[in-house]
Structure formats: structure tokens, C-alpha cells
């Protein structure tokens, strides 16, 4: 665990989301949040008792006009919407139903899908909120956006704590999926790192309960740099049965965070570092290898290449447009390269 702490720990105090007046030149991203976290403590919670109440809030995150694709411009002691990611509005809801009503009121006519982001290990609520706002902004996501923020310790020493938190959070994430998929609504899940493990556990849990209705409301799944043992993933997928489609796994052979995790969990490659489809053969999933699109960018650990590399963002946006135009499903294994 010392290796992981040294590799992932940053210097200094973790930044937190800050409030500031809006700027007319900034882009406003609306994000709904379902979380067990204490909303008055958006930072590190390593070693604290996990909250049990599910809280619901709406946040408006302002993305500055100076924003660069793939980056999060964290505020300093004087947050400014012209240069920083800031919160310009927040709304606390008394219940999940109240949050859903607000979401329905704000979405465009004809929209019936919500994009749900599930963050990974070592994330604070601030980390997850700003990252999802960056993803929503850079990929031009117009559908309603929701964040499920499970009680990660937000500390690199908390890997084992976070693995337990994933199991602790399964029921509340399942409740969140039910909330967002009422009626004819559907949910597309984007899960990162250990959040992918949580997602698979929730889908498995629903399948074992025989909840075919909930599984039918999942319009697709994208696992980004999933921190899952490939053998475990196969068992989870087999328990789920027919996986939602599309079902895409973003990988990188140079993912340094997963390399460190592989070392402490038995030197076996995690799902997010696979270099062939052999270990997921027969599961009807697509592996998209982002290794060649990593660059240096804002992600030195190469653990979020798909959303932090400007090259990767451009390629994925093109693939989304192609799929929307009826381009068909992706191959079982694709090595993505930048367009000349």
C-alpha cells in the first residue's frame, strides 16, 4: 500500500469546489447529485464513519471561457468564474422525487435519457463534480446529467477503505438508477476506475433479484479505466446475463495507476489495462485502447486518458457522431489513433 500512496499522493492540500458569481462568458453545466456524503464536508473523509442517508442536490458548475479541453481549472483563494471552475448555484432537494421533478422540468422536449457518472477511487465530492462538469462540457453532452458520488475516502491511503465503500454503496446506487429510470426514461452509465466495479456489482445485484425492468432501462455502459480483476468481471457479466448495449471498456496499456494497483493485488493486469479481447471473449463488449492518444496532458498517471487527452476527446466525439449516424457497434478490440 505504501507504493500506491507514494504513486498517487499529491503534494499539499486537496482543492475543493468553490462558490463564485457567474460570468456571462462562461458555460453553465447543470449536474444533479445523489450521494451518501456529508454535503457540508466536500473534501477528504478518510477514517470517518460512512453516512447512511442519501442526499440529493442540484449544482450549476461554471466552466470558464479560458478552459482547455481535458483540464479542470481549479480555483485558488479567490475563485473567479472567468478563469476557474466554480459553483454558481446549488439547490438541496428534500427527496429523490423532488430532484427528479426538477430534472424533468429543466430537460428539453423529447429527451428521455440521463447520463449518470460514477467516479472512482480516491475522489472527493469536489473532484467528481468538477470532473463530470469537464466531461459534460468537452463532449458536448446535452442530456440531463447526474452524478452518483459514493463515499470514497478521497485519500490515496484509502484503497481498502474504498473497496469496502463500493459494497456499502450498492443499494443506494441501485435506488438512484430506479429514480432516474422511472416511466419510460433510460440511463446511460459512465463509470471510472473503482466506480466501474460498483456499477457491475449493482447490475449484478439487480439481475440476481430478477429486476429485468431496471436492467432494460440501462441504455448503455462505458467503463473508463475499470479497476476490476478480469476474472471477476467475467463472473459479474455472466450473472447479469445480457449486458446493456452498447457496452464499452476504455483501456490504456500505459495506465500507471492501474499498474500500481495490479502490483498490490497480485501482479495481474486489471480490466482497464487489457491489450486484447481474449479475456472478455463472448461477453459482447467492446475494448477501446487509448494508449496511443495519451500524450502528456493533464493526466500524468494516464488513468483518465479518454476524458483528459484533447486527442482522445476529439476521437471519441467523432465516434459518438458516427454511432449516432448509424455507424454500427464498435469492434471487439480497437486501438484508437489520432486522425492525421
Q: CATH assignment of 2-335?
A: 3.40.50.1820
58 band by pLDDT with thresholds 50, 70 and 90: very high
Would the pLDDT of 185 be above 90?
yes
34 band by pLDDT with thresholds 50, 70 and 90: very high
4 band by pLDDT with thresholds 50, 70 and 90: very low
Q: In what order do the strands lie in the sheet with 27-35?
A: 86-93, 55-63, 27-35, 145-149, 113-118, 186-192, 218-224, 247-251, 286-289, 333-335
The angle at the Cα of 115, spanning 232 to 260, to the nearest 5 degrees, equals 40
Give the C-alpha separation, 338 to 319, whole Å.
12
Would the pLDDT of 240 be above 60?
yes
Would the pLDDT of 46 be above 90?
no
Would the pLDDT of 156 be above 80?
yes
Would the pLDDT of 233 be above 90?
yes
Would the pLDDT of 224 be above 60?
yes
Over residues 17-24, mean pLDDT: 96
Would the pLDDT of 26 be above 90?
yes
Would the pLDDT of 39 be above 90?
no
329 band by pLDDT with thresholds 50, 70 and 90: low
Over residues 316-320, mean pLDDT: 83
Give the C-alpha separation, 257 to 296, whole Å.
15
Q: Which residues of 278-295 are buried (b: 16+ CB within 10 A; e: fewer)?
A: eebeebebbbbbbbbbbb
Stronger pLDDT, 334 or 128, i.e. the higher one: 128
Query: Using an 8 Å Cβ cutoff, are 152 and 122 in contact?
Result: yes
| Separate counts of helices (H) and strands (E) for the chain | 11, 10
Over residues 277-283, mean pLDDT: 93
Determine the pLDDT at residue 297.
64
Determine the pLDDT at residue 6.
32
Provide the mean pLDDT of the chain: 90
Over residues 305-311, mean pLDDT: 94
The angle at the Cα of 229, spanning 225 to 235, to the nearest 5 degrees, equals 115
44 band by pLDDT with thresholds 50, 70 and 90: low
What backbone phi and psi angles, to 5 degrees, belong to 206? -65, -40
Over residues 254-274, mean pLDDT: 90
Amino acid at each position: 500500500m505504501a507504493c500506491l500512496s507514494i504513486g498517487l499522493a499529491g503534494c499539499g492540500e486537496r482543492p475543493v469546489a468553490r462558490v463564485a458569481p457567474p460570468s456571462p462568458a462562461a458555460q453553465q453545466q447543470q449536474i444533479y447529485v445523489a450521494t451518501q456524503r456529508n454535503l457540508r464536508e466536500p473534501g477528504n473523509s478518510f477514517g470517518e464513519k460512512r453516512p447512511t442517508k442519501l442526499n440529493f442536490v442540484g449544482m450549476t458548475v461554471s466552466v470558464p471561457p479560458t478552459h482547455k479541453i481535458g483540464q479542470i481549472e481549479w480555483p485558488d483563494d479567490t475563485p473567479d468564474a472567468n478563469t476557474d471552475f466554480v459553483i454558481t448555484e446549488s439547490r438541496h432537494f428534500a427527496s429523490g422525487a423532488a430532484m427528479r421533478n426538477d430534472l424533468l422540468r429543466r430537460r428539453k422536449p423529447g429527451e428521455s435519457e440521463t447520463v449518470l457518472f460514477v467516479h472512482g477511487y480516491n475522489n472527493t465530492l469536489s473532484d467528481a463534480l468538477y470532473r463530470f462538469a469537464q466531461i459534460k462540457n468537452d463532449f458536448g453532452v446535452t442530456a440531463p446529467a447526474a452524478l452518483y458520488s459514493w463515499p470514497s475516502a478521497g485519500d490515496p491511503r484509502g484503497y481498502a477503505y474504498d473497496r469496502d465503500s463500493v459494497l456499502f454503496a450498492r443499494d443506494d446506487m441501485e435506488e438512484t438508477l430506479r429514480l432516474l429510470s422511472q416511466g419510460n426514461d433510460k440511463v446511460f452509465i459512465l463509470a471510472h476506475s473503482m466506480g466501474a466495479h460498483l456499477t457491475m456489482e449493482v447490475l449484478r445485484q439487480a439481475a440476481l433479484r430478477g429486476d429485468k425492468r431496471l436492467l432494460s432501462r440501462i441504455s448503455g455502459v462505458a467503463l473508463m479505466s475499470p479497476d476490476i480483476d478480469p476474472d471477476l468481471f467475467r463472473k459479474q457479466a455472466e450473472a447479469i446475463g445480457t449486458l446493456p448495449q452498447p457496452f464499452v471498456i476504455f483501456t490504456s496499456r500505459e495506465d500507471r495507476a492501474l499498474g500500481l494497483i495490479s502490483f498490490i493485488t497480485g501482479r495481474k493486469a486489471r480490466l482497464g489495462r487489457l491489450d486484447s479481447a481474449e479475456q472478455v471473449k463472448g461477453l459482447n463488449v467492446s475494448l477501446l485502447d487509448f494508449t496511443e492518444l495519451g500524450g502528456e496532458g493533464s493526466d500524468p498517471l494516464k488513468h483518465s486518458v479518454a476524458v483528459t487527452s484533447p486527442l482522445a476527446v476529439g476521437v471519441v466525439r467523432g465516434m459518438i457522431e458516427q454511432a449516432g449516424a448509424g455507424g454500427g457497434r464498435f469492434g471487439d478490440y480497437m486501438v484508437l489513433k489520432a486522425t492525421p
